[in-house]
Chain A
Amino acid sequence: MFRYLPLMLKNSLRNRRRSVLTIFSIAASLCLLGVMFALYRGLFLAPPTPGQELRLVTHHKVSITQPIPAYFGDKIRQVPGVREAMIWQWFGGTYKDARDQKNFFARFCVEPDKFFKVRPEIVMPEDQKQTFLHLRTAAIASSDLVERMNWKIGEKIFLTGDIFQANPELTLVGVFNDPNTSETLFFSNAYLREMLGAKSAQQDLVGTFQVQVENVDAVPRVIKAIDDMFANSQFPTKSESEQAFGLQFISFLGNIKLYLMSICAAVTFTILLVSANTMAMSVRERIREVGILKTLGYTPGAILFIILGEAGVISIVGGSLGMVFAMGLTSLVRRGPSFMQAMKTLAITPDVGAICIALAVFIGVVSSTIPALTAARTPILESLRSNA
């Protein structure tokens, strides 16, 4: 088998320019395929991150834009299996000039006394936690946001409400690290309610609750118990895992699965074309050489194997190069603005890389079958006579 390897390598170096161009062409396509696979995997196949599997989101059955009463929190806490439930209110609003996209980040109102129980994976110094608990106008922010906005502890952050008629004047008291949260600011829900005043219709209503469940086995039961409890109330709820809740926003973009798959199909087909074209050209040029090899005693099978092998070599090199490009690209995406959580963790994992390279080799070999068969079948005399 491997005694033909030097011949395959030599052949692929024969027309260097063509091989290099083909390799780069396959690399570009495969880089894209890698990124698409990684995106698909990150969005739809990734297991829940630690901390996520125990957390539920409870919101109005119809839409998160319809509020539910704040007292639901007390009722949810009484459901067996629930460790803690906390108000999780999207504040929205604007920071400085909203027209500048840089000023956009997520802002949530939470209950500081329950916050670290519901999100135990959050890492923050103890003294900062204490200040967050006790200072009414305190705010904490994720480290990536603090870094981007160049904030310091003690920074005054003034927000202007849009959903709520309230303009919080916050002080940054803590910076936290959390794998599940990026570019987010939290402040006290009590402060928001106080600003709204007793007259406001929004005062006793909240958008969503975050619920921490005691153990993984209890999750389906708790979901059912919560939703059953409110099913016949004026505010029926829907509870789902934090991961499923996040995926909802992805579905806002339409049928992403279909888009990704169409792109992958188009890219795969392109690789097929490029590879087939190259091998066809290469074989056509060498038809006389093939005749000589045959006179030297190479069997048609060996010829077939050598040509398929050459396609395989080019695909492996192109595929590997593509994966290197894809890694570079994903690391760029990770550092870019975070549109969704999946972007922050986008990476070419070993399984994605392996699948892509295997696919490239498969396509390369399949696409060169026809030219290879032609070469193997051409009678010696005819191929020697050919002057292509």
Chain B
Amino acid sequence: MAIPLAYNIRNLAVRKTTTLMTALGIALTVSVLVAVLALVNGLRTAFHTTANPLNVLVMRKGATAELSGGMQRSVFEDLKSKPGIARAADGHPIASLELVTVINLPSVEKPEGMNITLRGITPVGLEIREHVKIADGRWFRQGMREVVVGKSVAKRYPDAGLGKKLRFGRGEWEVVGVMDAGQSANSSEIFCDLNQMGGDFNRYDGLSSALVRATDAVSVDALVNSINDDRRLLSTARTEQSYMDAQTVSAAPIEYLGVFVSIIMAVGSSFAAMNTMYAAVARRAKEVGTLRVLGFSRSSILTSFFFESLVLSLIGGALGCALVLPLNNVTTGIMSFQSFSEIAFNFRVGPEAMAIGVTFALIMGAIGGLFPARAAAKKEILVALRDG
């Protein structure tokens, strides 16, 4: 017969100071883990939502990042006519030739300046990025020294607000618009006219990359393979999705650090939980004896104390998640090793992160509760009743 769970919950409530202190210890451990997961999760979302599954990114053979993409105009002309590339209503292929570089702007957090991606595009470059919409002002005009900044850039860099002038390349550029690209990495970028930018940076022929749209989901792989195999193009193609997902590794060092920290903290918290549970068992020796006299078996005593520990850790886990919740949607920035520029993203305390955190707490509770529960179950009735 099982001992009702209410008995354990009441016991935890009676010793509320000890319960709270132990639970808080577990909570802090959980919150470190959940915070790190939320950070990685946010970064992954930013990169993942940037990519359209139909888009294929093409760069010079061997190039691994857009910055050193080395796409040439002549190659692009050949690339454009490849079968498998989608066409717009008026018949022009949806293929965007782009120039990517970084510029440096002072930010709120870093007055000495952070790097931001500057992307030169033609009108088709906007066509291929349906998720990017103008939020304020207007798009830049071709042949003009005008830029449109992502909304994260506008927010984080005081010099890049609407109507301000940015100095890079060979002179000043006017910020004429702010674009909203949702959670995607484009929100951390600045867009301008390809040819104007090429002139400023002495990049007339050696540009960065080409983004092309496959006709449908089935033909994406075929398009990637046909570009890779084309000896004339000497280019590497990959889906935009895989290129973006690979950039999540920028957060890997923080992820390792966070997991490492939370595991060691968990060891400490397990010991603390064990301590609390041993004390609980010692204080209730007489109760344990009474329960045995009433006919509860050793195994139900074991489960009862084990459950109590689990409930304790569950409180800790929930508390830990609650501690991290204010972080949700807080914006932070990280430098991508691939684009050498800052990408802003929001912490995302999602259900998975919280589930992992609570599971982690339960594991601590289980480890901390097992031995004390066994000790309680092993007590001899007479000894327990006499010593209590």
Whether the Cβ atoms of A255 and B206 lie closer than 8 Å is no
**In the complex, what distance in Å separates the CA atom of A254 from the CA atom of B335?**
7
**In the complex, what distance in Å separates the CA atom of A32 from the CA atom of B257?**
11
Which chain A positions have C-beta within 8 A of B257? Answer: 259
Which chain B positions have C-beta within 8 A of A254? Answer: 254, 332-335
Whether the Cβ atoms of A63 and B104 lie closer than 8 Å is yes
Name A157-214 residues within 8 Å CB distance of B: 160-163, 165, 201
- When C-beta atoms are compared, the residue in chain A nearest to B340 turns out to be A65
Interface residue from A17, A162, A263 paired with B32 (Cβ < 8 Å): A263
Whether the Cβ atoms of B31 and A266 lie closer than 8 Å is yes
A270 within 8 Å of B by Cβ? yes
Which chain A positions have C-beta within 8 A of B102? Answer: 62-63, 65-66
Which chain B positions have C-beta within 8 A of A280? Answer: 17-18, 21
Name B23-49 residues within 8 Å CB distance of A: 24-25, 28-29, 31-32, 35
Q: Per-position contact with B for A24-61: 1 when CB-CB < 8 Å, else 0? A: 11111101100010000000000000000000000001
B243 within 8 Å of A by Cβ? no
Among the 9-residue stretches A136-144, A146-154, A271-279, A352-360, the one with 4 or more Cβ atoms under 8 Å from chain B is: A271-279
Which chain A positions have C-beta within 8 A of B75? Answer: none
Among the 9-residue stretches B77-85, B125-133, B154-162, B273-281, the one with 4 or more Cβ atoms under 8 Å from chain A is: B273-281
- A contact patch SS: helix
Whether the Cβ atoms of B62 and A165 lie closer than 8 Å is yes
A64 within 8 Å of B by Cβ? yes
Q: Which of B22, B110, B250, B271 has the most CB of A within 10 A?
A: B271
B9 within 8 Å of A by Cβ? no
Q: How far is the CB of B162 from chain A (nearest CB, A)?
A: 23
Whether the Cβ atoms of B278 and A18 lie closer than 8 Å is yes
Q: How far is the CB of B359 from chain A (nearest CB, A)?
A: 19
**In the complex, what distance in Å separates the CA atom of A316 from the CA atom of B63?**
55
**In the complex, what distance in Å separates the CA atom of A29 from the CA atom of B265?**
6
Interface residue from A62, A92, A255, A270 paired with B28 (Cβ < 8 Å): A270
Whether the Cβ atoms of B67 and A32 lie closer than 8 Å is no
Which chain A positions have C-beta within 8 A of B64? Answer: 98, 162
- When C-beta atoms are compared, the residue in chain A nearest to B39 turns out to be A254
Q: How far is the CB of B332 from chain A (nearest CB, A)?
A: 6
Q: Per-position contact with B for A212-244: 1 when CB-CB < 8 Å, else 0? A: 000000000000000000000010000000000
Which chain B positions have C-beta within 8 A of A22? Answer: 271-272, 275
A253 within 8 Å of B by Cβ? yes
Which chain B positions have C-beta within 8 A of A63? Answer: 102-104, 115, 340-341
B152 within 8 Å of A by Cβ? no
Interface residue from B35, B70, B101, B109 paired with A255 (Cβ < 8 Å): B109
Q: How far is the CB of B95 from chain A (nearest CB, A)?
A: 23
Whether the Cβ atoms of B250 and A252 lie closer than 8 Å is yes
B261 within 8 Å of A by Cβ? yes
Q: How far is the CB of A255 from chain B (nearest CB, A)?
A: 7
Size bin of chain B's contact surface: 35 or more
**In the complex, what distance in Å separates the CA atom of A63 from the CA atom of B116?**
10
Q: Per-position contact with B for A13-27: 1 when CB-CB < 8 Å, else 0? A: 000011001101111
Interface residue from B18, B28, B275 paired with A269 (Cβ < 8 Å): B28
**Given A255-B109, A259-B254, does the pair A201, B206 have CB atoms closer than 8 Å?**
yes
Q: Per-position contact with A for B107-123: 1 when CB-CB < 8 Å, else 0? A: 00110000100000000
- When C-beta atoms are compared, the residue in chain A nearest to B109 turns out to be A255
Whether the Cβ atoms of A21 and B18 lie closer than 8 Å is no
Q: How far is the CB of A324 from chain B (nearest CB, A)?
A: 14
**In the complex, what distance in Å separates the CA atom of A162 from the CA atom of B276?**
58
**In the complex, what distance in Å separates the CA atom of A273 from the CA atom of B271?**
12
B7 within 8 Å of A by Cβ? no
Q: Which of A24, A64, A273 has the most CB of B within 10 A?
A: A273
A135 within 8 Å of B by Cβ? no
**In the complex, what distance in Å separates the CA atom of A259 from the CA atom of B327?**
13
Interface residues, chain A, with chain B CB atoms under 8 Å away? 17-18, 21-22, 24-29, 31-32, 36, 61-66, 92, 94, 98, 160-163, 165, 201, 234, 251-255, 259, 262-263, 266-267, 269-270, 273-274, 276-278, 280-281, 339, 388
Interface residues, chain B, with chain A CB atoms under 8 Å away? 17-18, 21-22, 24-25, 28-29, 31-32, 35, 60, 62-65, 67-68, 70, 101-104, 109-110, 115, 168, 170, 206, 250, 253-254, 257, 261, 264-265, 267-269, 271-272, 274-276, 278-279, 283, 332-335, 337, 340-341
Sample 20 A-B pairs with CB under 8 A, ordered by A number. Answer: A18-B275, A21-B275, A22-B272, A25-B271, A62-B103, A92-B68, A162-B65, A165-B60, A201-B206, A252-B250, A252-B335, A253-B334, A253-B335, A263-B261, A266-B29, A266-B31, A267-B28, A267-B265, A273-B22, A277-B21
